[in-house]
Amino acid sequence: MTRMARLELPHGTHELPVLSGSIGPDVVDIRKLYGQADVFTYDPGFTSTAACASGITYIDGDAGTLLYRGYPIEQLAEHSSFMEVAYLLTEGELPTKDELDRFVYTITRHTMVHEQLMNFYRGFRRDAHPMAIMCGVVGALSAFYHDSTDIEDPKQRMIASHRLIAKMPTIAAMAYKYSVGQPFIYPDNSLSYTGNFLRMTFAVPAEPYVVDPVIERALDRIFTLHADHEQNASTSTVRLASSSGANPFACVAAGIACLWGPAHGGANEAALNMLRAIGRPERIPQFIARAKDKDDPFRLMGFGHRVYKNYDPRAKVMMETAKEVLDKLNVQDPIFDVARELERIALSDEYFIEKKLYPNVDFYSGIILSAIGFPTSMFTALFALARTVGWVAQWNEMIGDPEQKIGRPRQLYIGSPRRDYVPIEAR
């Protein structure tokens, strides 16, 4: 028997169905509320609204839990690989060895981009932000791959999914190469997904490039940790764009544009800049005092999260990875000392404990990427590269959901009521 929630309104009482997922909070089904009661719900930021039913990612912010298809992110980061996680998110289950081998083979053979696409890069200034280039180039893919834009054809959707996952490292690496004035490096099918990206980014024709396995593994973990994160701003943007029937390349370009925002994908860059501003561990107390001062605009970046009210499960993995990378590269960076001391103080300070301001994934990821050699302008582009897997999985799930309709949020209108036009001479 369906459970019902009673809603008391000034003009009567209404009953609405209560739906339960496999885990997580129940939801009140308000789809018929407007028709029955002539009222809307008001929820800026959609913080209390479920816009879809999804079986891909689950987050319990209070418990600090993040699951991909039911698997804890910590287990996947430790034991799996990004390609295996990509298969899991897009196909729904962990692959057998044969399935993974076929998937990797397919992705590897789609990494090259159309030669004419390279001309797009020359239209940008050399100092263009990589995300500006990514938005334009990814959106332009639909002009080159007409055989995978029919969203009603499952085969074309699969081809488009593979193309997007495969070509994003090539597109991101080319954006970096263009910014530094170096020649583009073509993909190498003998390398892993992550190793190939490192080579396309940092190799030059004048000398051989050997992929460092420690760096390769660290970046692979970063990709895994960023592959999906439920219905965040950019994922919701991809879903909203796709609800109109737009082609997958346009939808992912829309996701990239949303991810570009400093409140979303640019958070790790902001955290790194903050650590650099602090500079030395002995300066931490004065910055913590500023963070506690309500009249001071300074905020500790990389702490707290819109969803997590506990320790971000990705942050611990990222902290261990940062140590591995800095040890391997023999980086004596005081920024890492600042990060560790700031984390220690914040986790023991009553102010941060009370407000549940725990370190999140962005706190350490910027340190790792900087140590590897990526400029801060590339941080969000790397985020987009990894998140493409999640966007593709969410896009495919939405297309196959018979209950989904074109997105059309309502509003609480606070403008002028109806009024008549007044001729300019009478105003």
Among the listed residues 75, 56, 53, 73, the one whose alpha carbon sits nearest the alpha carbon of residue 64: 73
Tell me, what amino acid is at 135?
Answer: C
Q: Which is catalytic among the residues 220, 228, 312, 362? A: 362
Q: Which is catalytic among the residues 129, 305, 349, 420? A: 305
Whole-angstrom distance, CA of residue 309 vs CA of residue 355:
9
Which residue reads 């495969």 in tokens?
A: 166
> Helix or strand or coil: residue 142?
helix
Tokens of 393: 């999985």
Residues 6+ positions from 427 with CB-CB distance below 8 Å: none
Active site residue 43: no
Whole-angstrom distance, CA of residue 214 vs CA of residue 181:
27
Radius of gyration of the chain (CA): 24
> Helix or strand or coil: residue 409?
coil
Contact present, 356 and 304 (Cβ < 8 Å): yes
Whole-angstrom distance, CA of residue 237 vs CA of residue 231:
9
Among the listed residues 173, 175, 176, the one whose alpha carbon sits nearest the alpha carbon of residue 187: 173
Among the listed residues 83, 82, 56, the one whose alpha carbon sits nearest the alpha carbon of residue 71: 56
Active site residue 305: yes
List, by residue number, the catalytic residues. Answer: 305, 362
